[in-house]
Homo-oligomer: A and B are copies of this chain.
Amino acid sequence: MSEAQTAADRPVYLVDPWCVREPELRLDRLAQSESVFALSNGHLGMRGNLDEGEPHGLPGTYLNSFYEQRPLPQAEVAYGYPESGQTVINVTNGKVIRLLVDDEPFDVRYGRVQAHERVLDMQAGTLTRHVEWTSPSDRTVKITSVRLVSLTQRAIAAICYEVEPVDHAVRVVAQSELVANEAMPNGTKDPRASAILDHPLVSEEHVANGTKVLLLHRTRQSGLRMAAGMSHEIEGPESMAIDTESSEDVGRLTVATRLEPGQKLRIVKFLAYGWSSKRSRPALHDQVVGALAGARQTGWDGLLKEQREYLDDFWCGADVEVDGDAEIQQAVRFGLFHVLQAGARAERRMIPAKGLTGPGYDGHTFWDTETFVLPVLTYTSPGAAADALAWRHMTLPLAVERANQLGLDGATFPWRTIRGHECSGYWPAGTAAFHINADIADAVIRYVDATQDEQFEREVGLEILVETARLWRSLGHHDVGGVFRIDGVTGPDEYSAIVDNNVYTNLMARRNLQAAAETAMRHPDVADRLGVNAEEAASWRDAAAAMVIPYDERLGVHPQSENFTNHARWDFAATKPDQYPLLLNFPYFDLYRKQVVKQADLVLALHLCGEAFTEEQKIRDFDYYEALTVRDSSLSAQTQAVVAAEVGQLELAHDYLGETALMDLHDLNRNTRDGLHIASMAGAWSGLVAGFGGMRADGGRLRFAPRLPGGISRLAFRMRYRGNRLKVSVTADTATYELLEGPGLKLWHHNEEVTLADEPAELPIEPIQQRPAPAQPAGREPAPRRIDPHGRVPRRG
């Protein structure tokens, strides 16, 4: 591995506008690359593990919402704590194709790797690998594999695997496998949890038949059933011996042959997966076998073609072009690709914080999805956004039950979950973070505004708005002075907790209450079915109108929550660089009582509730919180990018954009191994479109306020809005709006109304006055995206 060590300074991935290319195998970044090269359609996810299974960082194959229960122990139990959690498990691995060359197992840790390249192609939707390997006994083979997880056939993945000798004839044996209950590296520390999660699947059936093998398992505690099947098409010399076998946890097809130079063994492996909490073993068996038959009917080339067509359609309404910063160009497409992969075919399942790229956060979904991911999908792949919200709607009965348990009206959505049950084990940063309910409501409002999807509004949206409005009405109260207060909650910033009148929460709750009242009025029949009467709707409007928004007159800024600006400031000067993230080195009590901000909170309100602030307030508030925000959360930089751009701090915005966009490609937080930060990936889009494009769509008006930083010479983005597909192109002094498809629309350019129809509209951008940049806490400045004299951005991370 000395080669890997000397390579440590070279970039892991090459910068290319449409691909992520790993030019050599970096064993020191194996787990990171498994996340970066993960393929998924939102239903089935496969980490970018090597075909031969080993070495690996973390083996991973996931089925959305297929989980096991685990205990949530507490030193001191209290009312309302969830007793068990849900955790994503590594399901049957169908990626494995092992190879023996003259009896030597192909393993990159032995022999010599002459060449090794992997390419994630974001237009083709494939991961391609080229290897040239010389075995310890000096036989050289070329191996090519192409892998896809189908965006068109939800149950299906496929691998095309080819091996050929380079100079000498070789005997090759290929073993294509299904492996359940893989041994996992470094398990959890909790012995009870690891006992459950180390061997989560119980075999119910295994069959081998021709080139087909199927394994069927169920989980011990959660009682879910899954099946994985494989089927093969094999081309090679005539004298091939093919055999299949199955046992409880292993299915195997073995091909043995002799290859002369010029000859090739080609295996196309079709994989199908299915799971259910309800369907019988035979039904699930048949479902998977049927899916395999469908995939074979389509064939490898057919799957490739469908995949590209699906992606072409996506990119034509979603692509973002960035001139002047090639890293960001690559990163925004990488981000969009993974956001799409996370949501494309989730279809009424949740979108986890890590997508299906790794086991991080137990595979849970959080507010990340509604607040950071759905805005991207709403304007690029709106059907996926609708599906994600329909999943929330499906879980409403659980959320109503939880609210009832907590003594509240309406619904309380879980802070973290897989299937809708609260799985948070620390209530001050879980249950108390009620803002998630307004975040979900806001995603509904945004989706309906962007699509005018009235059926959705009636069948899904209104009920969510009503139940969350009921929550806010019961969570808050009018004090004797008549204002409506929301006390004892936790806002987005997890370095404060259980606070009174968090500005973000109160503003979002206000919007939630108003929207529920307005939407109920638009659909009186549905409202009536939901038990909403005029008095209730009026009480929502009243609460919204009386909502208290604290303001510190003395400092001329909004306190993040009541009293916040009276608290001691964190002693940033005394905090050492290796003490970040702070939560690993300081107790919650100390973080909570001081002015230190983990992630944009008041600044997120500046972005999402901009109408509640004057321009002057935005500038003052942004500057104030810049000095306090340490970005110990990956959710922060994108919001700071958007608001920095809005208040004219364009270079700072560019720096923050870099941080969110390169979070995983540069492994900035050193935890990409556990899965990609899907919200950060979405943030690349937000930083460009909402940041430098100035896109806002609140209040029913689609507005842009484009303005570029010095390092970006041109920005162009496509989006979908109310049946239109449009393209916005921005340079330093001009913005061009172009209708690509659809009936046309009105939009606003820097407060100027524009009616967009057949002709593109080109409008000037006025320069702004430079203000001094605000300071961040010492050592927490974002890495600058300075441009070197040759126009290249220096690599980081």
Task: Please list the residues of chain A having a beta carbon within 8 angstroms of any beta carbon in chain B.
Answer: 72-76, 78-81, 85, 190, 405-408, 424-428, 431-432, 477, 479-481, 485, 487-489, 497-498, 500, 554-555, 562-563, 566-568, 583-590, 592-594
Give the residue name and chain of the B residue nearest to A569 (CB): B477
Among A406, A432, A562, A590, the most chain B Cβ lie within 10 Å of the Cβ of: A590
Q: Is B498 in contact with A497, judged by CB distance below 8 angstroms?
A: yes
- A146 → B minimal CB distance (Å): 41
A406-B590, A589-B406 in contact; A566/B427 too (CB < 8 A)? no
- A371 → B minimal CB distance (Å): 21
A487-B567, A566-B485 in contact; A78/B592 too (CB < 8 A)? no
Q: Is B79 in contact with A583, judged by CB distance below 8 angstroms?
A: yes
Q: Which 10 pairs from chain A and chain B are nearest by CB?
A: A75-B425, A488-B593, A73-B73, A80-B587, A72-B75, A477-B568, A76-B426, A487-B593, A76-B425, A479-B566
Instruction: Kindly list chain B residues whose C-beta atoms are within 8 Å of the C-beta of A79.
Output: 583-588
- A69 → B minimal CB distance (Å): 13
Instruction: Kindly list chain B residues whose C-beta atoms are within 8 Å of the C-beta of A78.
Output: 426, 583, 587-588
- A571 → B minimal CB distance (Å): 9
Q: Is A73 in contact with B190, judged by CB distance below 8 angstroms?
A: yes
Q: Is B592 in contact with A427, judged by CB distance below 8 angstroms?
A: no
Among A425, A487, A568, A589, the most chain B Cβ lie within 10 Å of the Cβ of: A589
Give the residue name and chain of the B residue nearest to A429 (CB): B76
Among A75, A554, A588, the most chain B Cβ lie within 10 Å of the Cβ of: A75
A485 to B72, CA, bound (A): 36
Instruction: Kindly list chain B residues whose C-beta atoms are within 8 Å of the C-beta of A74.
Output: 73-75, 425-426
Partner of A587, one of B73, B407, B555: B407
A73-B190, A74-B75 in contact; A498/B589 too (CB < 8 A)? yes
Instruction: Kindly list chain B residues whose C-beta atoms are within 8 Å of the C-beta of A487.
Output: 563, 566-568, 593-594
Q: Can you list 20 A-B contacts with CB-CB less than 8 angstroms, sorted by A residue number?
A: A73-B190, A74-B425, A74-B426, A75-B425, A76-B424, A76-B425, A79-B585, A79-B587, A407-B587, A428-B589, A480-B555, A487-B568, A488-B567, A488-B589, A488-B590, A488-B592, A498-B589, A498-B592, A498-B593, A500-B566
Instruction: Kindly list chain B residues whose C-beta atoms are within 8 Å of the C-beta of A80.
Output: 586-589
Instruction: Kindly list chain B residues whose C-beta atoms are within 8 Å of the C-beta of A408.
Output: 590
A427 to B428, CA, bound (A): 11
Partner of A73, one of B75, B488, B563, B588: B75
Q: Is A587 in contact with B425, judged by CB distance below 8 angstroms?
A: no
Give the residue name and chain of the B residue nearest to A191 (CB): B192
A73 to B407, CA, bound (A): 27
